[in-house]
Structures are given as structure tokens and as C-alpha cells.
Amino acid sequence: MILGARCEITRGDDRPSLSSQRVLGIVLVAAAAATLAGCRSEPPRAAAPVVIWKPIQTWSGRGDAQTETFTSDSGGFRVHWDAKNERGGEGRLRVVLRSGDSGREIVEAIDRRGTGHGTEEVAAERPRWYYLTIESAHVDWTVTVDERIDGQTVNRLLKKPAT
């Protein structure tokens, strides 16, 4: 019985005829093909680029500061900054990424007068040790650094847990 139908084609000697065997074979092949077609998976999609931001550290204060060193495997950074409570003159906030080895200036991330907040993405030279110098006048500041990590999405089939 196939799909709830019953097909009996017989010859006079109660054996299926050759044509009924062919019909049955064709029906079985068609059913198998339909079943297998339903089991096909989608063709794999191309991996898409994705950016992940790994938190490094947050610092805050008033006046100048130098942070401890931190390492980067990518050389890409996102710097969040906030300058507020301006008192005693025009506020200023300047944040520079420096080489952890030589102390030389690698890239100026922030140079702001007055109060405000924002986010800047900067690309330093390469993976290395870094530290920040923060020059500040007349404002309270907060600076957060995240490291850029480039990746790609992964397409996986998730299996249902056995129950």
C-alpha cells in the first residue's frame, strides 16, 4: 500500500504482470525522490562579517592621568568619552593612545573643548601593548576603551537534544 492507495493488477495466474511491476517500481522511485527532496538542506550561506567589541577598561577622574598598560591583538579601538561638570574655566579633554614599549604617541582618540560625550573608533598601528594619556582641564571625565575584534558568522545546524 502506497500513500493509502491499493493497486492490484494481476494476470490470470494471480501473479503481478510485468507492467504492474513497472508501475510499482516507478511509484516507489517517485516516492523516494519526493522524500529525499524534502530532506534537502538549504545551500550554505556565505559567512557574513561581524564586529565584536571586547571591553578593555573604564577610567574616570578630573585632571591629567596615565592609565596602566593593556594589550591589543587587533589595534582597533572604540573610545567612549564623557566630559561634564565644567568648573573654573573652559573644559578640555584629550585622550591619546601611546605605545606601551616606547611611550610614543600612536593616535589621538579625543580632543574636545567644553563638555559633551561621544564615541570614536580609532585604528592604531598593530597589535601591541598600549596605554592612554588623558589630559584634562576643568571637567570631570570618564573614558572607556573597547577592542575591535573582526569575525564572521558561522552557519551551523543545531541538533535537538535527545529526550
pTM of the shown model: 0.67
Residue 102 lies in a domain: yes
Same domain, yes or no: 2 and 65: no
Same domain, yes or no: 112 and 33: no
Is it the case that residue 17 has pLDDT exceeding 90?
no
Same domain, yes or no: 101 and 141: yes
Residue 159 lies in a domain: no
What is the number of structural domains in the chain? 2
Q: Which of 45-59, 64-78, 127-141 has the lowest mean pLDDT?
A: 45-59
Residue 163 lies in a domain: no
pLDDT digits (tens, 9 = 90+) for 36-46: 555 555 666 67
Same domain, yes or no: 68 and 11: no
Cell reading at 122:
580609532
Is it the case that residue 74 has pLDDT exceeding 60?
yes
CA gap 134, 112 in Å, rounded: 11
Reduce the secondary structure of 8-57 to three states and give it as a string. Answer: CCECCCCCECHHHHHHHHHHHHHHHHHHHHHCCCCCCCCCCEEEEEEEEE
Is it the case that residue 9 has pLDDT exceeding 70?
no
Residue 160 lies in a domain: no
Same domain, yes or no: 105 and 143: yes
Q: Which residue has the higher pLDDT, 68 or 155?
A: 68
Same domain, yes or no: 55 and 131: yes
If pLDDT is split at 50, 70 and 90, which confidence band does 112 have?
Answer: very high
When the pLDDT of each residue in the chain is averaged and rounded to a whole number, the result is 82
Same domain, yes or no: 60 and 35: no
Q: Which of 4-8, 36-40, 48-52, 106-110 has the lowest mean pLDDT?
A: 4-8
Residue 87 lies in a domain: yes
Domain with 148, as residue range(s), is 49-152
Cell reading at 38:
524534502
Same domain, yes or no: 54 and 98: yes
